[in-house]
Structure 1
């Protein structure tokens, strides 16, 4: 493995300590700044890279994460990644492409693949591998080499606001098996996998984008419940693992896992033998930035704890990249961050960028994701009598991770009358009148979490033929009197199509 350019040219010389003669040496030391940049995964707005983004690659930046706002279509993405690689060939280009509810390539229409909850419910490991291989092939075709997936959290909190259908399930053994299959599938396509979120975000009822969640468990329970999927993906050869901005007080104290050496070094590397790249979740998230006092201090703390590649986030401009680089360079200059630690991180990032694997010549079925989503659907009760329904979709929000991606049955219907409403802005009587004698299919997402939606469904089921289609994380709630309860285990384009097919409503 080649050493970082700044080190290969000779030792870094610091002409004066910070503050000598009133000058900040860090800001004028290109060696330290370049080394710092080689730990950063930044972002930029728009469908083409601005000049500063190309310049940063030339100066050593590790790479970029692409988001929905960077993507118009596959041809444009391929042109964009080629633009970035023209600036530096060994650029890491990452994306959150999980399938299901979290998609960037298909953010305008919804993913053509079911997500992890559906795949876990089906229970076919080879199907999981094939779905992730197909996702990997699509990414490789447009020049993306790191997928910030799969999500391998064990979703034990039914009301988890950020994981939910992104998880393969609530059973560690099931999650571990599917997590390993997903990693194999992606990496067979030549795209590095990044399993997330270590040491496990599934037992939280808070969103680390907005605050610092706590998983208050013993170290033993963590090993028994949260960590088996990470052991499985390491055994499967995952190239990267992403940290979680969560507290596990028995191990991390008041800090997030991202800043905790006892987890990233002692457990992940020492106990579990991981030798790949440790990637942070976005440092702009409140679970990290608020804990550290800003992105700059968060970057330093994450590197010191054992992270290698620092994901800055989505809302990133040149000033934020410079802030993080300056903080790292300053910590190197004053000795509060070890040069050997950063050199180690850079070497791992270089190895990740250089990794490649021959793409298997496997013909992909355009129906793969849709057929898989159909297999995941479960129906309780009977859909008899719902051949000509009135479809009501309850408006629902989305998480920051998911973004505003279209969902529901609307794109797939054959002219069936439909209505989109907010649960707290309508009534059972109003919907019954609108249905004009037809049975009602009520389509929701995490319906049980919304008191108004739950109440509306219960009122309808008591007086009118009702089928509920649940497209969020399944819960135990069922409205009394409901004729059928359909669970899709996700809200992707494929999940919506599957539900429409089950109901016999496809155009």
Structure 2
């Protein structure tokens, strides 16, 4: 079903739906719900919440930020993933081992999140870290674009083996600014060619394999005065030069870096007009409702978004624990996390 898959993704308040949540879920402009740490306790509760949401809206997309390291919303009852920089460090001395483990990690993450009832996680991070950006840091695989592309590509392959789409972020690269776009609008004043020859490499190489891409709330002023998520030039580059066919999902429009576009409805329209297929509006229900009012269903956007839905039979966590691959990968990741 795509007929009611609208362009807005928002959040809910708790671990189960309340009357206000049910009212919002009925809005035809809604297409997805993202879960945060306050919404999750353990896998059975997350699965029950996902089923509760789907009883209200059967076609809804359900997502989570489950990257590993400090960005892992569900931490109980699933594998604790290390930050992705661990794979980059491993790659320096044992590249093939790192690539295999990154692929196994993508598979494990995909299978565990599918077992919890989710459609996808906003992962992997494709930013190239240069040790300047507090928002990225060890969330990035490496400071070398070729290594990021190789490791993230393996991670994506693992997700695909699990039947889950990959979402690359934060296009065209958030790793070379000193400010955090959650609390400010960072500016990257490097020439386009420098960005093209470094930060864009992972996005260009993986564009054909990603289900979605999330643009950054960063202004790359030598290319466009608008932040990437509001820039038809940056998003057009994805479509026209990189031949990206997947969905483009904005970063959270409640973040400070997005406020340059105006009020909530104006931000939502600006992102969609620039080329986004879906907008995130989180931690501000009033703003989310304004975004719902500002946007309408569009068949082409819904078609791209519908490809993010998890369509396989969902595994159970108990069944996963019986698989040799899961046990081996889980043990290795736990050891890395403890080291």
For the criterion TM > 0.5, the same-fold answer is yes
Larger radius of gyration: 1
Query: Residues 13-412 of structure 1: matches in 2 within 5 Å?
Result: 38-60=6-28, 61-106=30-75, 112-123=80-91, 124-156=98-130, 158-235=131-208, 237-253=209-225, 255-265=226-236, 267-288=237-258, 290-313=259-282, 315-317=283-285, 319-328=286-295, 342-353=298-309, 356-357=311-312, 363-366=324-327, 368-372=329-333, 374=335
Give the distance between the partners of 2:11 and 2:189, measured in 1 at CA: 33
| C-alpha deviation, 1:59, in angstroms | 3.2
**Shift of residue 370, structure 1, vs aligned partner:** 4.9
Distance 1:264 1:217 in 2: 18
Change (3 A) 1:113 1:3: closer
Q: TM-score, normalised by structure 2?
A: 0.89
**Which one has more relative contact order, counting CA pairs under 8 Å at least 6 apart?**
2
Report the Cα offset of residue 358 of structure 1.
6.7
Is the 1:215–1:246 contact (alpha carbons within 8 Å) kept by the matching residues of 2?
yes
Q: Secondary structure at the match of 2:252?
A: coil
Q: TM-score, normalised by structure 1?
A: 0.61
Residue aligned with 1:46, SS:
coil
Number of corresponding residues: 326
Distance 2:105 2:2 in 1: 37
* Structure 2: distance between partners of 1:45 and 1:199: 31
Contact kept? 2:79, 2:334, Cα under 8 Å: no
Question: Residues 227 and 186 from structure 1, CA distance in 2 versus in 1: closer, same or farther, beyond 3 angstroms?
Answer: same
Q: 2:78 touches 2:112 (CA, 8 Å); kept in 1?
A: no
Q: Distance in 1 between matches of 2:229 and 2:240?
A: 16
Q: Judging changes above 3 Å, is the alpha-carbon distance between structure 1 residues 101 and 110 closer, same or farther for their aligned structure 2 residues?
A: farther
What SS does the aligned partner of 1:192 have?
A: coil
Find the aligned partners of 1:184 and 1:359 in 2 and give their Cα distance.
18
Contact 1:160/1:204 (<8 A) preserved: yes
Residue aligned with 2:72, SS? coil
Deviation at 1:196, TM superposition (A): 0.3
Q: Report if the CA contact (8 A) 2:159-2:165 is conserved.
A: yes
* Cα RMSD after superposing both structures: 2.3
Residue of structure 1 equivalent to 2:95: none
- 1-side partners of 2:260 and 2:284: how far apart? 19
The answer (yes or no) to whether the contact 1:198–1:243 under 8 Å persists in 2 is yes
User: Within 1, Cα distance between the matches of 2:2 and 2:115?
Assistant: 30
In 1, Cα distance between equivalents of 2:288 and 2:128: 33
**Structure 2: which 5+ runs fail to align?**
92-97
Q: Distance in 1 between matches of 2:87 and 2:276?
A: 30
Q: Deviations over 1:52-90 (max 9, x none)?
A: 323333333201000000011111111000001111222
Give how far 1:359 is off.
Answer: 7.2
Alignment of 1:1-20 (within 5 A): 4=3
